[in-house]
């Protein structure tokens, strides 16, 4: 904050805690890390990344400004930002210089003059009772501190002059001179290379664009067949736009492909990092998981709604007529633009290096930077997913800056606009919901304008989006009076699992000594729950009562149970780690969660509904894990572990940093969302890609987790 209005005049008492290094520890938890001193009182507490005692002090006392005693940062809780300005009297600058001098002093040691430097906070009552003597000693402390700094500077100059006359000093100076000369030579060589690159770039820009004979013949034949026998002004306009876009994109392709260093696949497909654009780790983790789900990825690699939406926009604006010839021209752009869309997001490219292997986004020379605006004039999440998945699984880029995807999310999902920290579970639900709406809208608007093959593909992708996470729950209510069972089918797209009551604690010892099993949380989700009191109106108990009778409805006691009656292809398990502990406070349940690579869902299913399924249909294999690191609900960091089916290994996706890992490392993560893929699908009985539990090992491990809860939980 450049202009904070809450920095007033500082009036610190002589015994203030900020002037005594021996009091630089939290008054509540006694920690010495990230210590913040209140500038309105003598309270000292820890920061928000430790135990948040400083924030609690602000909420109780309304003292907004605090100073970090070690790094000398000033933070305003009312502005919720760091303070960069000072007040009119310059108190913050004076306070920082005073603290620097205090930290440089050697407390409880005797100086050359024979007196002891003492901290003002350690003085006894008799010493503090003499105001004049206290002020005199404080002035003497400052004088000796300044004198010590002066003597150190003078002695430094003397020793440097003496060092130049010794053989060792001459050798050191000679080495420094050689290093400076080597640095000058490197700078000159670097400047020559940069100048040569600028000259080559200027020459390439002056050269006319080259086209292969095959592409020229294709354009010539398509123009002859499409423009004859009528050449209406609308047709001419569309063809001119087609030629212009094709030439510009071909020129961009030629500039990339004709570079002195030819780009070739140097990374494993799918091992592409996503740069954090400002608290976007929640989006990067979800996109990495979706791209590693084989069924989801293959659908969006085939489907691109950009051209379809252009046709619909043209029809909406009245530019499309019933002429079949114009529709064929517009449809022909689908085939020509296929090569253009592969490089739509690559407007800013960094040349790749020749190193091969799993770079995991560490090499900046293989970074693809998307434009600041969406890559299509028609904002489409499906198109951005198509473009992003193509880049991530091309094996050519180690790092992508997804600006276009971020701005599309901002425009279509306003709740996630800005750079605030968000919840990954909420973002995943909103993203899938918007993608589903977009596919439904595109498939139903002007179906005659969309080619039959495109309509069929949209229908297939919509079917996958609707069914990949879709399952059904059987809600069964049993009357305890007549044992009548009432069944209701409820759809679900994820299962939010609660922790048992004994794990609702904040202590670090409890969270490390008593792990919680994932199967225990599933058992709690499907356990029989008794309804409180007589609140259930049983149909069988009220059969003898007439519909319009004046007699009251008979209410009985009942119990309720949830069971899975239809299994999804990909099972999402959301661990609810946050619970309300006050009016506006949510505390985290830091309990170790243990789960296996293979999950058997048969004990949690309704056996009557799924009795015809094969035993392998109940077996799920771990595909991805989304983690949340941190101790607070509104803070922290998201990463993801994903199983790469192309390479047959696990990879840790931490924004731009990607690393190969083993199941042991996955089991130490802080799980928030677990993704399990069905080994044998119910529809066709085909098995999926070999999973880590069968391809690597059959061992069962545990996973420690600390995650963020969905705000609706």
Cα–Cα distance, 551 to 543 (Å, whole number):
13
How far out from the chain centre does Cα 58 lie? 29
Report phi then psi at 28, rounded to 5. -100, -50
Cα–Cα distance, 664 to 667 (Å, whole number):
5
Cα–Cα distance, 528 to 357 (Å, whole number):
52
Alpha helices (H) in 64-212, listed in sequence order: 91-104, 125-129, 131-163, 167-206
User: At a CB cut-off of 8 Å and minimum separation 6, what does 308 contact?
Assistant: 442, 450, 454, 458
Cα–Cα distance, 8 to 90 (Å, whole number):
10
Cβ–Cβ under 8 Å, residues 407 and 374: yes
Residues 257, 263, 269, 270, Cα dihedral to 10°:
-80
HSE, side-chain direction, 13 A CA sphere, residue 696: 20
Q: How many residues does the chain have?
A: 713
Helix axes 424-444, 306-316, angle to 10 degrees: 50
Name the catalytic one among 4, 26, 46, 281: 281
Tokens of 686: 């085909």
Question: What's the angle, vertex CA 495, arms to CA 504 and CA 384, rounded to 5?
Answer: 120
> Exposed (0-12), middle (13-18) or buried (19+): which is 477, by Cβ within 10 Å?
middle
Cβ–Cβ under 8 Å, residues 44 and 27: yes
360: left (phi over 0), alpha (psi -120 to 50) or beta: left
User: At a CB cut-off of 8 Å and minimum separation 6, what does 281 contact?
Assistant: 637, 638, 639, 655
User: At a CB cut-off of 8 Å and minimum separation 6, what does 598 contact?
Assistant: 619, 620, 621, 622, 693, 700
> Exposed (0-12), middle (13-18) or buried (19+): which is 483, by Cβ within 10 Å?
exposed
* 115 DSSP 8-state letter: P
Question: What's the angle, vertex CA 222, arms to CA 220 and CA 224, rounded to 5?
Answer: 70
Tell me the β-bridge partners of 564: 473, 605
Report phi then psi at 628, rounded to 5. -125, 125
Cα–Cα distance, 608 to 385 (Å, whole number):
39
Report the candidate in 41, 50, 10 with the shortest Cα–Cα distance to residue 23. 41
Name the catalytic one among 378, 504, 637, 661: 637
Cα–Cα distance, 32 to 25 (Å, whole number):
5
Tokens of 412: 């279509």
Tokens of 205: 């820009």
Tell me the β-bridge partners of 680: 687
Does the annotation mark 637 as catalytic? yes
Does the annotation mark 4 as catalytic? no
657-661 and 671-678 beta bridge pairing:
unpaired
Q: Is the peptide bond before 642 cis (omega within 30 degrees of 0)?
A: no
Residues recognised as catalytic: 281, 637
């Amino acid at each position: 904050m450049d202009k904070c209005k809450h920095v007033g005049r500082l009036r610190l008492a002589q015994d203030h805690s900020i002037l005594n290094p021996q009091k630089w520890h939290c008054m509540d938890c006694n920690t010495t890390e990230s210590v913040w001193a209140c500038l309105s009182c003598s309270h000292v507490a820890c920061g928000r990344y430790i135990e948040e005692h400083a924030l609690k002090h602000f909420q109780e006392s309304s003292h907004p400004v605090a100073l970090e005693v070690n790094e000398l940062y000033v933070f305003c809780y009312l502005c919720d930002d760091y303070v960069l300005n000072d007040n009119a009297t310059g108190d913050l600058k004076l306070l920082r210089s005073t603290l620097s001098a205090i930290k440089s002093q050697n407390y409880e040691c005797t100086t050359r003059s024979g007196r002891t430097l003492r901290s003002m906070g350690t003085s006894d009552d008799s010493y503090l009772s003499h105001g004049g003597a206290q002020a005199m000693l404080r002035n003497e402390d400052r004088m000796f501190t300044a004198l010590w700094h002066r003597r150190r500077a003078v002695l430094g100059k003397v020793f440097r002059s003496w060092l130049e006359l010794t053989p060792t000093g001459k050798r050191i100076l000679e080495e420094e001179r050689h290093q400076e000369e080597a640095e000058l030579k490197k700078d000159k060589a670097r400047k020559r290379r940069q100048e040569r690159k600028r000259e080559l770039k200027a020459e390439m820009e002056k050269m006319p664009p080259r086209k292969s004979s095959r592409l020229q013949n294709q354009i010539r034949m398509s123009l002859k067949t499409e423009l004859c026998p009528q050449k209406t002004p609308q047709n001419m306009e569309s063809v001119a736009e087609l030629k212009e876009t094709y030439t510009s994109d071909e020129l961009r392709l030629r500039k990339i492909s004709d570079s002195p260093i030819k780009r070739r696949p140097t990374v494993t497909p799918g091992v592409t990092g996503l740069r954090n654009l400002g608290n976007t780790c929640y989006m990067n983790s979800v996109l990495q998981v979706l791209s590693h789900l084989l069924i989801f990825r293959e659908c969006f690699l085939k489907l691109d709604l950009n051209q379809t939406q252009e046709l619909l926009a043209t029809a909406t604006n009245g530019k499309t007529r019933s002429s079949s010839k114009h529709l064929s021209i517009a449809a022909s752009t689908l085939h020509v633009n296929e090569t253009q869309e592969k490089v739509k997001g690559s407007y800013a490219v960094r040349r790749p290096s020749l190193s091969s292997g799993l770079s995991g986004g560490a090499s900046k020379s293989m970074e693809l930077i998307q434009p600041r605006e969406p890559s299509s004039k028609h904002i489409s999440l499906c198109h951005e997913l198509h473009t992003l998945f193509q880049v991530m699984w091309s094996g050519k880029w180690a790092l992508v800056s997804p600006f276009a995807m971020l701005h599309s999310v901002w425009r279509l999902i306003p709740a996630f606009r800005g750079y605030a920290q968000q919840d990954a579970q909420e973002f995943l639900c909103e993203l899938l919901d918007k993608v589903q709406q977009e596919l439904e809208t595109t498939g139903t608007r002007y179906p005659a304008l969309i080619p039959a093959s495109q309509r069929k593909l949209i229908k297939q992708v919509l079917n996958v989006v609707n069914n990949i996470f879709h399952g059904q729950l059987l809600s069964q209510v049993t009357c305890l009076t007549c044992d009548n069972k009432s069944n209701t089918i409820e759809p679900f797209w994820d299962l939010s699992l609660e922790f048992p009551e004994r794990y609702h604690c904040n202590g670090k010892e409890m969270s490390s000594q008593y792990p919680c099993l994932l199967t225990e949380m599933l058992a709690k989700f499907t356990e029989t729950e008794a309804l409180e009191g007589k609140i259930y109106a049983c149909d069988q108990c009220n059969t003898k009562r007439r519909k319009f009778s004046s007699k009251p409805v008979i209410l009985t006691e009942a119990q309720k149970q949830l069971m899975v009656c239809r299994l999804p292809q990909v099972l999402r398990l959301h661990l609810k780690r946050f619970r309300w502990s006050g009016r506006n406070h949510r505390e985290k349940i830091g309990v170790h969660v243990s789960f296996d690579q293979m999950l058997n869902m048969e004990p949690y299913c309704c056996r009557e509904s799924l009795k015809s399924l094969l035993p392998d249909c109940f077996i799920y294999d771990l595909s991805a894990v989304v983690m949340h690191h941190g101790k607070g609900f509104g803070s922290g960091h998201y990463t993801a572990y994903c199983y790469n089916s192309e390479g047959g290994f696990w990879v840790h996706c931490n924004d731009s940093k990607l690393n190969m890992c083993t199941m042991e490392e996955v089991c130490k993560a802080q799980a928030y969302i677990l993704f399990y893929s069905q080994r044998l699908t119910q529809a066709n009985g085909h098995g999926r890609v070999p999973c880590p539990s069968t391809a690597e090992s059959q061992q069962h491990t545990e996973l420690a987790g600390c995650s963020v809860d969905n705000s609706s939980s």
